[in-house]
Amino acid sequence: MYLHEREYWWKFTYESDKVMTELGKVRAKQGLMLGRMSSLGFDFQEDALLSTLSQELVSSSEIEGETLDRQQVRSSIARRLGIETVGMVGTSRYVDGVVEMLLDATQRYAEPLTNERLYGWHNVLFPSGMSGLYKIEVARYRSGEMQVVSGAMGKEKVHYEAPKPERVPQEMERFIGWVNTEVEMDEVVKAAIAHLWFVTIHPFDDGNGRIARALTDMMLARSERTSKRFYSMSAEIKLMRSEYYEVLERTQRGDGDITEWLLWFFRCFDAALDSTEESLSAVLAKARYWEHFAKEEVNERQRKLINLQFDGFFGKLTSGKWAKIGKCSSDTALNDIKDLLNKGMLIKNGEGGRSTNYSLPEI
């Protein structure tokens, strides 16, 4: 028997003591991370937002075996949020569409969830009406049976069978109503339950996983009361993918006790918060650098070139590259570099002559 075949199946239960203990730990870490990131300047927060949202969207697509161009994703997000950044590239209609889905979920997190909103998300995932070689129902709930299957043809294993299609509209009405209603429940617990509840209904022909992860981002944004995202749940789900499917399958075949699912979700969330330091290392290093040299005066060209170095847009820094990227003469480039050397904002590396190059000091 599947979970959804039980009467009042959506009235989940869990072991409160276990759940509250782990929830307290992850909530404390979440608060520390938000406090640290909010102490950064506005420009650095924008950099962090761009990096995190790009990682979230790329990772969510990779879970489904789809590869998005990270630079296109980053450029599309920057344009839509009005963030000025270097290295902007052209973007495809599809990338712009999936970016719109994620931004709708995270930037408009406080707005009610509706059928039409979910249809819009589904539409941008499948603008051609096709999933691979197959035509699917787009921007509407499925009218056919749905199974989650793995294995080669003739040796398929059925992991899950979703509710019958005639049940889907009523199930989604109940789910959406719960999402939009304030309940006496911690918002992170609600995010975990929303993810499980949605994928259990499996309302669409395809794309349920990506939409479930967008919903998770929306619910976690509600838990923080901010549209600024500084960690990626999808990146961690991707790393823990086999565990994710195993826990999900056991829960969907269970008796309605979702303790194991909640504890797994908290562990994944905890890992996502831990990864903030690594995933935003360039942003945090840049913030430390400019805080350290806050009293030093630099021109706009110097600031731009230093930030480009942090962002990894070119390799070893030479006076020739400085002149080319900064669009200035060789003499001006050398003067810029000498000024930064005197202030300790650049250091000269060992090679001499034509091989002379410079790097940023460690702060």
Q: What is the mean pLDDT of residues 138-152?
A: 91
249 or 285: which leads in pLDDT: 249
**Could you give the percent of the chain with pLDDT greater than 90?**
73
Q: What is the pLDDT of residue 353?
A: 64
Q: What is the mean pLDDT of residues 28-40?
A: 91
Q: What is the pLDDT of residue 352?
A: 64
Residue 174 above 90 pLDDT? yes
Of 224, 310, 238, whose CA–CA distance to 272 is shortest?
238
Report residue 285's pLDDT band, with 50, 70 and 90 as the boundaries. confident
Q: Say if residues 172 and 201 touch (Cβ distance below 8 Å).
A: yes
Q: Which of 84-88, 162-166, 297-301, 359-363 shows the lowest mean pLDDT across its residues?
A: 84-88
Q: What is the pLDDT of residues 191-211, one digit of tens each?
A: 999 999 999 999 999 999 999
Alpha carbon 55 to its chain centroid, in Å, reads 5
Q: What is the pLDDT of residue 175?
A: 98
Q: What is the pLDDT of residues 103-133, one digit of tens each?
A: 999 999 999 999 999 999 999 999 999 988 8
Q: What is the pLDDT of residues 303-318, one digit of tens each?
A: 989 988 887 666 778 8
Q: What is the pLDDT of residue 283?
A: 81
353 or 20: which leads in pLDDT: 20
Residue 349 above 90 pLDDT? no
φ, ψ (nearest 5 deg) of residue 200:
-70, -40
Domains detected in the chain: 3-280 (1.10.3290.10), 293-359 (1.10.10.10)
Q: What is the pLDDT of residue 340?
A: 95
Q: What is the pLDDT of residue 153?
A: 78
Q: Alpha helix locations (H) across the chain?
A: 16-38, 42-63, 70-81, 93-107, 115-125, 168-180, 187-201, 208-224, 233-239, 241-252, 259-274, 276-279, 281-292, 300-311, 319-326, 330-342
User: E-strand spans in the chain?
Assistant: 130-131, 134-135, 147-150, 157-161, 347-348, 358-359
Q: What is the pLDDT of residues 212-224, one digit of tens each?
A: 999 999 999 999 9
pTM as predicted: 0.86
Q: What is the pLDDT of residue 154?
A: 78
Cα gap 144→161, rounded to integer Å? 12
282 or 124: which leads in pLDDT: 124
In the block, tokens 């991370």 appear at 33
Q: What is the mean pLDDT of residues 7-11?
A: 96
Residue 346 above 90 pLDDT? yes
**Could you give the percent of the chain with pLDDT greater than 70?**
98
Q: Say if residues 249 and 242 touch (Cβ distance below 8 Å).
A: no
Of 294, 276, 278, whose CA–CA distance to 345 is shortest?
294
Q: What is the pLDDT of residue 354?
A: 67
Q: Say if residues 263 and 19 touch (Cβ distance below 8 Å).
A: yes
Residue 259 above 80 pLDDT? yes
In the block, tokens 């562990």 appear at 267
> Chain-wide mean pLDDT for the chain?
92
